[in-house]
Structure 1
Amino acid sequence: LEWVKRWAADLDDAGVVFPNFANYMSRYVKKGSIRGRLFENKTKTGKYIWEKDTLIDLTFPQVLDRVVEEFPDQYAFRYTTTDYTRTYSEFRDDVDTFARSLIALGVKPGDHVAIWATNVPQWFVTFWATVKIGAVLVTVNTAYKIYEAEYLLRQSDTHTLVMIDGYKDSDYVGIIKELCPELETAEAGKPLYTKRLPFLRNIITVDSKQKGCLTWDEAMSLADRVPIEEVYRRALSINKHDVCNMQYTSGTTGFPKGVMLTHYNIVNNGKCIGDCMDLSTADKMLIHVPMFHCFGMVLSMTACMTHGATMCPIPYFSPRLSLACINQEKITACNGVPTMFIAMLEHEDFAKTDFSHMRTGIMAGSPCPVKVMQDVVEKMNMKEITIVYGQTEASPGCTQSRVDDPIEVRVNTVGRPLPGVECKIVDPQTGKDLPDNVDGEFLARGYNVMKGYYKMPEATAAAIDEDGWLHTGDLARRDENGNYKITGRIRDMIIRGGENIYPKEIEDFIYTHPKVSDVQVIGVPDKQYGEEIMACVILKEGENMTADELKDYIRSHMAKHKTPKYIDFVTEFPMNAAGKIMKYKMREYAIEKLKLHEESRIVTA
């Protein structure tokens, strides 16, 4: 304290002087932040932050802050189709700017912000900015037309909508103009008041300038009106059990329901799934699954962001763009539904794609044919591919095979329960627990189960029983090693003359025919047996086959009652935008095509 006594005799309290001096000097001294212990991946080529198979008590903004602290210069995004490359630190700056814009537009904690877009950079920025200020991100299916869009925007009470101009045959701008004719005279930047969407106050258009709407750049420029401290204040006031996302279930039956998921649900589900894939800073993931679906948002984005991995998104799935991205970015991980992997394997560019860096990925979304899994392991070098099973109501993962499981387990089962998730098989009629190797309904309970369906208490009570078990409606069995095998949907099961027939078993066998590219098996009404089996088959390019030829092939390898009565050669299957095949639509087509109207009216007990 020499200098204090000499220059300021009356200041002798070091507790006052020294902190002041340290604070003044801090701008000239480079800070070395104190880091926690980091973990290494199995091959010691990359690092990650949180110990494997543990749950973390963090919100989304806290996760991003920690990743930026540990790996500020690690790439978060590297797009190959558009000019957007950001490190984690740069990405957080984009998020903070848009978070300030949302606050300027009147978005309050708990308000709903909808994003209607493909996997464009603005999707990711909107997600992280929305959840950072305590609001709820509502995902909108990219295939929606006016009827579904109106239902979702009304049912979800959306306050602010961020949208692109359209996708495939859906014209979003045309839809919004029809739903909100008031836009014609509305002033951009001022709160909207529309009759059909009473809660909607703002629309932000990413691709073009529209009447009554703000462009993305105009919205970003509003950030200047709000100090960054307000974003920090909001982020600090979030509880990990607050709802941060509403996913509308695919609606393969009835109206879509808004599944309310919390920070704790999604952060931990994504983290545990990334743990099972051994993700780290060494990984680059190709993201071509849709972000509006859990497969994109949780299994891809959240799994990467909780492990400091790099994401290479593609706006929408295209086998050509996906294969080009694998080549250009030396991709190590790739998620997809079986149809995506089939499309890549059969594409003309497949042979000239370098898969030497490829290691892992997830095949999920619909039952995974064993043959496709084996092809992906052998031909795409995805030696550590895993399967995740779950549903949106479970954030979505319930079980997963691990990268170090034997290949038989990874190809033939959906693995064992994820950490913190309990699973069991019960008799759908009685609710009694069933022993191993017996088919029954799959139930799950744990941190990952949704808060409920938005404004649908009866539907919530029907899905989650009083003991907290989520009833999935899926048929499954557990083997003696604790791994689960999904055998079908309770509704998809075909009951032919009292025999329970599982379509997946027949599908898996038909896949082994060298001329078959893809197949779906459905039940169609029948006077004699109640239901008969129909196989809808897509042949490989340039191949021909008769129905009798395929029936003989099946009959020579499977029980006679499992041989389809009808075989229909098709070029595609009806799918929703999440890549899920809509079997109920296939049944409707079949009833029309085979003229089974009379049979379909037979009433059963």
Structure 2
Amino acid sequence: MTDTAHTLGTSRTLWELVERRAALTPDRPVLLQGDRALTFGELRERAERCAAGLYGRGVRPGTVVAWQLPTRIETAVLSFALARIGAVQSPVIPFYRDREVGFALRESKAEFFAVPGVWRGFDHTEMARRLGARGVFEAYDSLPDGDPDVLPPPPADGTGVRWIYWTSGTTSDPKGVLHTDRSLIAGGSCLAHALRLTADDIGSMAFPYAHIAGPDYTVMLLLYGFPAVMFEQFALPEALAEYRRHGVTVAGGSTAFYSMFLAEQRKQPGRKLIPSLRLLAGGGAPKPPDIYHAVVREMGCQLTHGYGMTEVPMITMGSPDDTVENLATTEGRPPAGMEIRIADGGEVRLRGEAVCQGYLDPAQSAAAFDEDGFLITGDVGHVTATGHLVLTGRIKDIIIRKGENISAKEIEDLLHLHPAVGDAAVIGLPDPDRGERVCAVVEQPPGAGPLTLAGIIAFLREQGLSVHKLPEQLEVVEALPRNDALRKVLKYKLRERYSGTPTP
């Protein structure tokens, strides 16, 4: 990390980081989208004017403001405006629907809710009203505006909870993860340090800005003073023109992104897909070693993969100067300040500034940390002699599809409502494109009619399940495998049975 980036990393709050970067390089771009560009100086000025407009609407330090917005320049401006006030932000992934959004609004007690209006054919404003959300306003093309002179001084302390992120974890309902400005700055600093980036790089955001990766990545831009291209809707090959137009040097997101880029590269072997690209980087899902070797061999760039979660946005990260073996088979090393403890049974536990403060639910918080203050991750692994982390499995019963956590129990609970389902087990199966795919294995009651994947999907959609959680595979069995004691379903046997089964 450069001396300047290291100094900026000591900022107490995100707003202080914005001000310090804007003072250093006010005319350098930070966000690029289509024909638009926002400089670091403009980010500070627009965010402060937006903060004044929000203040005029009644937003104060500590006010909870939820927002469900796509990856746009306006979304970043709004988020930093809320950071300028010292409000508590609750970002919600744009493709969540009534079930998740309603839960987040109720549990966070949000007093305001920013939505994009009609986006990708779905009316978010109508959903917000249907859910009885308070303080609903649209923030897609235009943002609240006002005179910054009305604002109180910016927050001076970055250790208070100012962020509520949502993760489904192992339960039916999402969990509200509590972060501070300092924990997000620490996470972004970890990422920046590992990737060895410079002010000459050009990054890209092809993931939802409302994901924990949003501030993680933006902190990196502020530390190093380079821009990123924002993609409101990411799809290949359509997005390639923007990568090439802006000369993107760093891209990625998760294993699913690597596979998508590879698929496009293979359409024109021997011709570099993105001429300026030197690094793919990401995390959020298992990375098969074959993917690493294929990217390096066929795309002509390096690939670094890491380990993070909503509770700890950056835990370990591969570095471009790591060995080929470590880049292909490990999750990288932790930065200074991130402690990894391997507990009994190989469970990974974490302690450091980037670790969250716990959960909205005090009972969940109490169960999340051990007696020494280490976060209990539920993941299993070991640390090599060189300090690299190798993950070998998960205790938590979650499925990670395209970098997003999906609760098996939530889908199972809904499947049990189907009249032709007697019992159900939902598992994640290895998938080269998605990281994992969702597979539903069901028993049927006597006399039940036949089940089809299309029928199950239609039923789950009627129940309000988000599209990204829908099963991609259905297996109907005479009896689910169970143990002899409590008759618990043995999911590992199902994974063994169906891991080699291709998606229908």
CA-based RMSD: 3.3
1:290 and 2:172 aligned: no
Q: Is the 2:50–2:81 Cα contact (8 Å) retained in structure 1? A: yes
Q: 1:522 to 1:335 in 2, by over 3 A?
A: closer
Question: 2:386 pairs with 481, 491, 496, which one?
Answer: 481
Q: Distance in 2 between matches of 1:400 and 1:297?
A: 17
Provide the secondary structure at the position in 2 that maps to 1:448. coil
Q: CA deviation at 1:170?
A: 4.3
Opposite residue 278 of structure 1, the aligned amino acid is R
With structure 1 as the length reference, what TM-score do the two structures score?
Answer: 0.66
Partner of 1:451: 357
Opposite residue 388 of structure 1, the aligned amino acid is G
1:216 and 2:142 aligned: yes
Q: Distance in 2 between matches of 1:159 and 1:518?
A: 36
Q: 1:526 to 1:168 in 2, by over 3 A?
A: closer
Partner of 1:540: none
1:257 and 2:175 aligned: yes
Count of aligned residue pairs for this structure pair: 440
Q: CA deviation at 1:377?
A: 2.3
How do residues 122-521 of structure 1 correspond to structure 2 at under 5 angstroms? 122-168=74-120, 170-180=122-132, 197=133, 200=134, 202-207=135-140, 216=142, 219-220=144-145, 223-224=146-147, 228-231=148-151, 233-235=152-154, 237-251=155-169, 253-298=171-216, 300-347=217-264, 351=268, 354-383=273-302, 385-394=303-312, 396-428=313-345, 440-454=346-360, 456-491=361-396, 507=430, 520=436
Opposite residue 138 of structure 2, the aligned amino acid is T
Q: CA deviation at 1:466?
A: 2.7
Q: Is the 2:66–2:91 Cα contact (8 Å) retained in structure 1? A: yes
Q: 1:156 to 1:519 in 2, by over 3 A?
A: closer
Partner of 1:119: 71
Q: Is the 2:340–2:348 Cα contact (8 Å) retained in structure 1? A: yes
Provide the secondary structure at the position in 2 that maps to 1:319. coil
Q: Distance in 1 between matches of 2:92 and 2:396?
A: 26
Question: 1:74 pairs with 11, 23, 28, which one?
Answer: 28
Q: Distance in 1 between matches of 2:80 and 2:92?
A: 16
Opposite residue 76 of structure 1, the aligned amino acid is V
Q: CA deviation at 1:330?
A: 0.6
Q: CA deviation at 1:166?
A: 4.2
Q: CA deviation at 1:598?
A: 5.1
Q: Is the 2:264–2:273 Cα contact (8 Å) retained in structure 1? A: no
- The gaps in structure 1 that reach 5 residues or longer are 1-38, 41-47, 181-196, 208-214, 429-439, 494-502, 512-516, 528-567
Q: Which has the larger radius of gyration?
A: 1
Q: Distance in 2 between matches of 1:473 and 1:58?
A: 31
Q: Distance in 2 between matches of 1:398 and 1:147?
A: 30
Partner of 1:595: 477
Opposite residue 258 of structure 1, the aligned amino acid is G
Opposite residue 315 of structure 2, the aligned amino acid is C
Q: Distance in 2 between matches of 1:374 and 1:348?
A: 14
Opposite residue 123 of structure 2, the aligned amino acid is D
Q: Is the 1:289–1:335 Cα contact (8 Å) retained in structure 2? A: no
Opposite residue 142 of structure 2, the aligned amino acid is W
Q: 1:166 to 1:377 in 2, by over 3 A?
A: farther
Q: 1:206 to 1:264 in 2, by over 3 A?
A: closer
Q: Distance in 2 between matches of 1:172 and 1:580?
A: 15
Opposite residue 469 of structure 1, the aligned amino acid is F
Q: Is the 2:258–2:280 Cα contact (8 Å) retained in structure 1? A: no
Q: CA deviation at 1:203?
A: 1.9
How do residues 504-543 of structure 1 correspond to structure 2 at under 5 angstroms? 507=430, 520=436
Opposite residue 335 of structure 1, the aligned amino acid is G
Q: 1:523 to 1:148 in 2, by over 3 A?
A: closer
Partner of 2:493: none
Provide the secondary structure at the position in 1 that maps to 2:208. coil
Q: Distance in 2 between matches of 1:142 and 1:98?
A: 21
Q: CA deviation at 1:525?
A: 8.0
Provide the secondary structure at the position in 2 that maps to 1:342. helix
With structure 2 as the length reference, what TM-score do the two structures score?
Answer: 0.79
Q: CA deviation at 1:280?
A: 2.5
Q: CA deviation at 1:386?
A: 1.8
Q: Distance in 1 between matches of 2:14 and 2:254?
A: 26
Q: Is the 1:145–1:170 Cα contact (8 Å) retained in structure 2? A: no
Q: 1:205 to 1:521 in 2, by over 3 A?
A: closer
Q: 1:522 to 1:596 in 2, by over 3 A?
A: farther
Deviates more, 1:133-142 or 1:483-492: 483-492
Opposite residue 88 of structure 1, the aligned amino acid is F
- For residues 171-206 of structure 1, what are the alpha-carbon distances to aligned partners after superposition, in whole Å with 9 as ceiling and x for unaligned? 3123123224xxxxxxxxxxxxxxxx4xx2x22213
How do residues 3-18 of structure 1 correspond to structure 2 at under 5 angstroms? none
Opposite residue 473 of structure 1, the aligned amino acid is G
